[in-house]
Structure 1
């Protein structure tokens, strides 16, 4: 049997998307062995490969029947990954769509998969019943900017039922507020694509957020600007419990660092400070609160963050999964590495892109460099 068994194609071009279904791709086949023994975890935790061949795996979302949907960025693909026999390893990988423009963001609601590319959001209705023959996508909105710089998106539905959609700055650092105030924000829209509002301002590039399980308020990761050196400014975790808060980009970074070019326009005192500062250039992106019960109690309701890793720092940093700890009132109390080892001697063999808890209490980690999804479990 070939790598892709019983290939069936269903071709259609709808609102610019070419659909393809690959039936029962062998998810465990890999052209290379990954050194999982190098991954360091707290005592009692184990890591395994849950799915392979998920090209450029980025954001994940779990369907109501357990399907794990996976966006990509450079590959332009959207995957659906299934563990059909319950052995904690995926055995089927479907391609739901291809030819999209950096479709990193995926979200699931009421049986439908929402997919975000640079300027559009699509909806695939009743998708879990049609994995082998994906339905034609419904265009939800095409009103987002077309600029590709920081244009890829992480999307998620909030407790209020709205779909939250970030819009990155179309630059390393620039002031676009008067030209188009939607840049460097996190927006929200209704599920039908109407009623777009800006929820938070001054966020340079968010590729991850989630809502605290107790307070139901949003925490947003953001990547700091480049070209100010190895150690400035830090990436941030921003807490936006109310609409309209401004976190300062491009005038102020991390609540206290005036930008050399734009800082004279508005002082840092005008803006909301971050809830937490990560290391500079660690590329903190996918973020999820862990609400399961399989991990020890100390991890419950804590925020797991994928640190994708630096691209231009003289000494690389990141390439790990960390935990931001909080109390019941959503106050940050600490920060520590959770899974690390993808970076070895200055070279990275993997890049964590997102984290996604599963109903069984395990934690998936996508890796867009090695084209795999890992499963981290506790105990036997």
Structure 2
């Protein structure tokens, strides 16, 4: 039972690295394509908004397909998209290269999560998805920073080229080792899945994901730029800092998996509160080695935890349609990512890099208040 989850985790590493590797490459891409960093940040917004707009519909539709073939097809699509990104001569081709994988990411992540829960049972959903989420954390531990280091030495195009090769290799691994799965005969209908959106509690859960991820990515989208311009680090040192940021996320992934199985909303509030501390402390501590390490450490742990907590929170809110609920979290999260990238770019242009932490913390504070409301509304069940 463990091998299929590990294979999906490895595939998830490639899928999520494709989405987030651009965070460490934004300064290089902006210079090479002759655009500003805030304009390059719109590539993050494009990817995120595409996921948000199409994710739930695509997931609900493709839930009827056999999982093995579906996952392999998605990875091959990622291979093509990353090849196109590596060859992109301008921002328009680059935008197309970001649009293609954005269509496959929500389908993979939602259905892989559902597959993991089917294997272990709903009572261990958090820990099972934590194993899938390990691939996501590894994307931040190794994928994003290694991509940044490769970009610094060989150029950002090489980073996307390597991702293309890795995606194809992962598809071959799934072809050989992932067992075929039966499609459920009693699959929830498309209409009944969308019906859960009428419930105000479910709407609140989706909004909570939007706020949490808006806060995260208002600042995180431009973390490489913060470290370059405010701390004065070169590309190599930025890569190592991002690796450290992701490495502490291993702890956050573990803590989040355990906490969310006990109480999803309390877990959300605790990690959000700690994240505000890390974000606000970053710039004041930017020239202190220990201070910067502590601020990035707190931020890194809580960010990884909230990725997992948000995902499981939505799945637990609609146990009769977990894949669709997961897709709603992915849509809400990516809407937040896109909004955060836009807000962060605007803050940089008007108030400067040093104000990103305050803008990001505003979103996170609102998410804590919303979580408190959802706790009071908890007795109202989400119905099919």
* Greater strand share, structure number: 1
What TM-score do you get using the length of structure 2 for normalisation? 0.24
TM-score (norm 1): 0.25
The structure whose residues are more often helix, as a share, is 2
